[in-house]
Amino acid sequence: MELEAHDIHVDFDGKEVLSGANLTLRKPGVVALCGDNGSGKTTLSLVLAGIIKPEKGTVRLDGLNPFDDSTKYKYRRHIGYVFQNPEDGFVATDVRREIAFTLENLALPRDEIIARVNRAMETFGLMPFADRSPLELSGGMKARVAIATAIASGADFLILDEPEAYLDYNGIKSLFSAISETRNTAGILHITQLPKAAQNADKVLIIKDGKLTEPKNIPLCAPELPKIEAGQKSDEIALAFENVDFSYAEDLVLTDISLVIRKGELVGLVGASGSGKTTLALLAAGILKPSSGRIESFGRVGIVMQFPEMQLFANTVWNDVCYGPKVLGLNNPQKKAADALELVGIDEELWNMSPFELSDGQQRLVGLAGVIATNPEILILDEPFAALDPKTCGKVLKIIAALTKKETTIILITHRTDILSKTAHRVVALKAGRIAYSGNANELFGSIELCEKLGIAPPSFWSNNSKDNVILK
């Protein structure tokens, strides 16, 4: 069985995103698709899923046309899709029903539905969350739900749009294990920025200038990120937590958090999905209030959300980035917006576009620019490297280092321990809502046993040449 796209052309507002793209995905097999942010990876995946109709070209699956009314429903029964933002695919009120929804629409027997749902939840560690709304979960757990739903469907073809972008170490291992089990029974298109995933596919394709090419050598991803020195921290306190607890309804998420962060300090915040990292960030930003305890901040706080579209709202990129400095009454808000957009590398030709027409990676940079434009003294970045290509990761890393040299205090939430090992003054690790470690980054990351205990990857996991035994084949 083959899924074939031929001579695909897609334009957005006169800008050609795909210009004659060709791809054949066979069942069974795994194809990895890599490329820079904004290169058209997601657009091509949505064409293959029958969601975006191209201006020119054909898509066929054993003769079925996803854009023909007489065959499109049959076509889509063969496709399982994981969106880059997991929330885009959620329809049900709890995790169990979310995974079961597709199976029910396929009219599978009740016993088989129950068995598939339970197996998927066990594989991805979702049993404790079975009765929770997927929208209430952490970003990493949302990603697990989306992946579990697609794989449980038993679709002939799985299209996975950077499924590991928000996953923690254990989540990535579960994903790789599931792909390993599925690769002999399905055709899988795995869009990824992770070298390990690309290296273990049957074929690797690069998208550039709207077309696909097959590289001669793997690994194909960018060189290792450079070591970037952060600025000097001071003794002055920027942010302080004192005996802070926080609960969502009756669900205790953070317990007895006491933490002092200094002016100019770059603190890495790590931990498994659901450990409380984003909740701590929202408390620090004043978006949530503690159930008990006290939080004091000594300076303007800015936060870049885990999912950037949550804070984008204006009709153009320019208006979105200008909004913050204007509302705060800062001098020359237009210059601050222009400087911020140039700093993060958003080309001027995109400034008058809707931010929602940009790729996820580009939206992430616009969200960062909007916060930088407000000149925050304390900057919280929640998974800023998720879904970014290696070149852009390096760019964001340099921006972060430059900000610390201006004595901006930064809380950097990320699963990228390789980045923290090169930048952070200190690392704080959460486990089950409590601080389990606070100290030197390399002391933590140098202990494989402690990393495993905390559910975080050692820095070598992210390397192009890592010998880590987490593989697809």
pLDDT band at 222 (very low <50, low <70, confident <90, very high): very low
Backbone dihedral angles phi then psi of residue 388, each to the nearest 5 degrees: -95, 145
Q: How far apart, in whole angstroms, are the C-alpha atoms of residue 85 and residue 87?
A: 6
Does residue 328 lie in a domain region?
Answer: yes
| Same-domain check for residues 209 and 293 | no
- Both 263 and 191 in one domain: the answer is no
| Cα maximum dimension of the chain | 69
Same domain, 126 and 248: no
Instruction: Give the Cα separation of 384 and 300 in Å (integer).
Output: 20
> Do 241 and 207 reside in the same domain of the chain?
no
406-427 burial string, b = 16+ CB within 10 Å, else e? ebbbbbbbbbbbbbbbbbbbbb
Q: In this structure, is residue 351 part of a structural domain? A: yes
**What pTM did the predictor assign?**
0.88
Cα–Cα distance for residue pair 51/58, rounded to 1 Å: 14
Q: Is there a single domain that holds both residue 313 and residue 417? A: yes
**6 lies in the same domain as 68:** yes
Q: Read off the amino acid at residue 219.
A: P
Where among 180, 213, 246 does a domain terminate? Answer: 213
| pLDDT of res. 224 | 55
Beta bridge partners of 207: 212
Specify burial of residue 227 (Cβ count, 10 A radius: 0-12, 13-18, 19+).
exposed
In a domain, 207, yes or no: yes
Task: Count structural domains, the chain.
Answer: 2
Say yes or no: 26 and 68 in one domain: yes
Which one, of 283, 295, 237, 277, lies nearest residue 261 by Cα?
237
* H/E element, 141: helix 139-152
144 and 293 co-located in one domain? no
Domain presence at residue 229 = no
Whether residues 205 and 299 fall in one domain: no
Residue 288 to residues 247, 312, 372, 410, 413, Cα–Cα distance (Å): 10, 19, 21, 19, 17
Q: What is the 3-state secondary structure (H, E, C) of 181-219?
A: HHCCCCEEEEECCCHHHHHCCCEEEEEECCEEECCCCCC
Domain assignment present for residue 219? The answer is: no
pLDDT, one tens digit per residue, over 357-408 is 888 788 989 999 999 999 999 999 999 998 888 888 888 888 888 888 888 9
Domain-terminating residue out of 213, 246, 280: 213
Give the per-residue pLDDT at 280. 98
Answer whether residue 410 is part of any domain.
Answer: yes
Tell me the backbone φ, ψ of residue 20, rounded to 5 degrees.
90, 35
Task: Render pLDDT for 98-127 as a digit per residue (tens, 0 to 9).
Answer: 999 999 999 999 999 999 999 999 999 999
Which of 155, 178, 213 terminates a domain? The answer is 213
Which region holds residue 227: left if phi is over 0, alpha if psi is between -120 and 50, else beta? beta
- How many other C-beta atoms are found inside a 10 Å radius of the C-beta of residue 335? 12
**Is 226 a domain residue?**
no
Q: Could you give the 3-state DSSP secondary structure of residue 164?
A: coil
179 & 244 share domain: no
Q: What is the DSSP string of 250-292?
A: TEEEEEEEEEEEETT-EEEEEESTTSSHHHHHHHHTTSS--SE
Q: Is residue 22 part of a domain?
A: yes
Pair (358, 410) in one structural domain: yes
Collapse the DSSP code of 16 into the 3-class scheme (helix H, G, I; strand E, B; otherwise coil) and give the result: strand
Confidence of residue 470 (pLDDT cuts 50, 70, 90): very low
Domain extent, residue 41, equals: 2-213
- pLDDT tens digits, 26-75: 999 999 999 988 899 999 999 999 999 999 999 999 999 999 999 999 99
- Provide the CATH number for the domain around residue 253: 3.40.50.300
Residues 333 and 286 in one domain: yes
**For residue 388, what is the enclosing H or E element?**
none
